[in-house]
Amino acid sequence: GGSGKEITTVEPSKGKPPVTPDSVVNLDQGDPTLYDEFWRLMGGRATITIPGWQTMSYFSDLGGFCWFVEPGFERQVRRLHRLVGNAIVDGYHLLVGTGSTQLFQAALFALSPAEDGEPMSVVSPAPYYSSYPSVTNFLNSGLYRWDGDANTTFAGDTCIELVCSPNNPDGGIRKAVTKSKSGKTIHDFAYYWPQYTPITEAADHDIMLFTVSKCTGHAGTRLGWALVKDMEVAQKMTKFIELNTIGVSKDSQLRAAKILKVVCDGYELSPTSKVNLLFHFAQRKMAERWSRLRAVVATSGIFSLPDKLSSYCMFAKEVVSANPPFAWLRCHKDGVEDFESFLRERKIITRGGSKFGVDERVVRISMLDTDEAFNVFLGRIASLK
Ligand code: PMP
């Protein structure tokens, strides 16, 4: 002891059990373990060391409107958006959250009316991300309530629309559909990154949510950020996080700052390198998985997938195909009314359509898991007739 050098690695967590050719393969959650390989290739480059006496105070930036945001994290986030070109950052207020899940709740809180009255309606077109109804309603808030499919609910003049693009679960590119006078929207851009979809514009909506979970694969770091146009809304969101968790882990922010720095450095300092380009790595992996899955589905005769989308990507500077994070797989086989159960009997765990507000003959399957899990899944799907 005493040298201060002995602890450089941590005991690995247990995580999910390994996948073997006849074990259950769980592709229910979008656990982004696909990215392990990239970060192993990066070796120690994204490692940080935090001495025992650092990051102890509650406060990170007492001069700013969001006192718990680490300046170094904010700097790397803004740098990353400028590099990728997926969102405007100038003129936006940035705040950090424990995953974008916390920021989503902070945004609902900030957009709901302060005066007493009916709870604000929260809507999104089906199929919508399955967490939206549960996270909106689990505390039975008097401020807001889930009102279902934005295409079929008449939400009145005031509602909050959740716009997820590319959409979880079906990969669709979306714009707001409600025409409410209040025009309140929350844009969930968890997947608006080049590995998943062509970057077609620098988005400039009122509230835009992002997360390291699906950008770099660091879901366990539990870190998201919001870009917010209006200062009053940004302040209310900050207040929510203050009341909910008194800020956001500094250790996570420092780690995320380092990870985003490595991603940006990869492009800005050694752009000709073949190995350290995160978005290119993930885009290649995803494109390969999608082409193998589409080939299996095409020969199956009983399954179908949404059409392949492609566009000019401002980041890649060429026309590229979208590689959604989930396969939204439909089964046309006679007698299969509950596709999720049908697959579960075949040891493939997926999430069925009803959780996304649609029918049971379609399921969502994660495309972000390990090679082992994906290969076992594909082999099983290929054998179904
Ligand atoms: N939004 C969407 C559309 C997601 O798919 C997810 C993760 N599954 C989240 C938000 C939440 O991400 P986080 O890990 O940042 O809470």
Tell me, yes or no, whether 51 lies in a domain. Answer: no
DSSP annotation of 203: B
Which CATH number covers residue 35?
Answer: 3.90.1150.10
Q: Which residue, 224, 242, 267, sits at the end of a domain?
A: 267
Type and span of the H or E element at 200: none
Pairing of strands 120-124, 144-149: parallel
What DSSP character marks residue 62?
Answer: T
End position of a domain, from candidates 248, 267, 286:
267
Residue 17 lies in a domain: no
Q: What is the pLDDT along the chain (385 residues), one digit of tens a residue?
A: 444 455 567 888 888 888 998 999 999 999 999 999 999 999 999 999 999 999 999 999 899 999 999 999 999 999 999 999 999 999 999 999 999 999 999 999 999 976 668 899 999 999 999 999 999 999 999 999 999 898 887 656 689 999 999 999 999 999 999 876 667 999 999 999 999 999 999 999 999 999 999 999 999 999 999 999 999 999 999 999 999 999 999 999 999 999 999 999 999 998 777 789 999 999 999 999 999 999 999 999 999 999 999 999 999 999 999 999 999 999 999 999 999 999 999 999 999 999 999 999 999 999 999 999 999 999 999 999 8
Domain assignment present for 55: no
- Clarify whether residues 155 and 85 are in a common domain: yes
| ipTM exceeding cut-off 0.85 for this assembly | yes
Query: Helix (H, G, I), strand (E, B), or coil: what is residue 38?
Result: helix
- Is the distance from the beta carbon of residue 30 to the nearest atom of ligand 1 less than 6 Å? yes
Q: How many domains does the chain have?
A: 2
Binding site membership of 100 for ligand 1 (Cβ less than 6 Å): yes
Tell me, using a 6 A CB cutoff, whether residue 325 lines ligand 1.
no
364 shares a domain with 231: no
Both 196 and 305 in one domain: the answer is no
Does residue 164 have its Cβ closer than 6 Å to ligand 1?
yes
Distances (CA, A) of 239 to 109, 147, 224, 280: 9, 25, 16, 38
The residue out of 229, 250, 267 marking a domain boundary is 267
Statement to judge: residues 333 and 186 lie in one domain: no
Give a yes or no: residue 62 inside a domain. no
List the domain range (segments joined by +) for residue 204.
71-267
* Best residue for ligand 1 mutational test, from 27, 35, 100 (most atoms within 8 Å of Cβ): 100
Based on the fold, state whether residues 180 and 300 are members of the same structural domain. no
- Say yes or no: 340 and 201 in one domain: no
Q: Is the CB of 366 under 6 A from ligand 1?
A: no
CB of residue 219 inside a 6 A radius of ligand 1? yes
Minimum CA distance residue for ligand 1 atom 6? 190
Give the H/E segment covering residue 177. Answer: none
* 102 CA closest ligand 1 atom index: 16
Assess if residue 6 is contained within a domain: no
Query: CA 185, CA 196: separation in Å to the nearest integer?
Result: 22
Same domain, 225 and 330: no
Residue 209 in domain:
yes
Joined tokens for residue 142: 């008097």
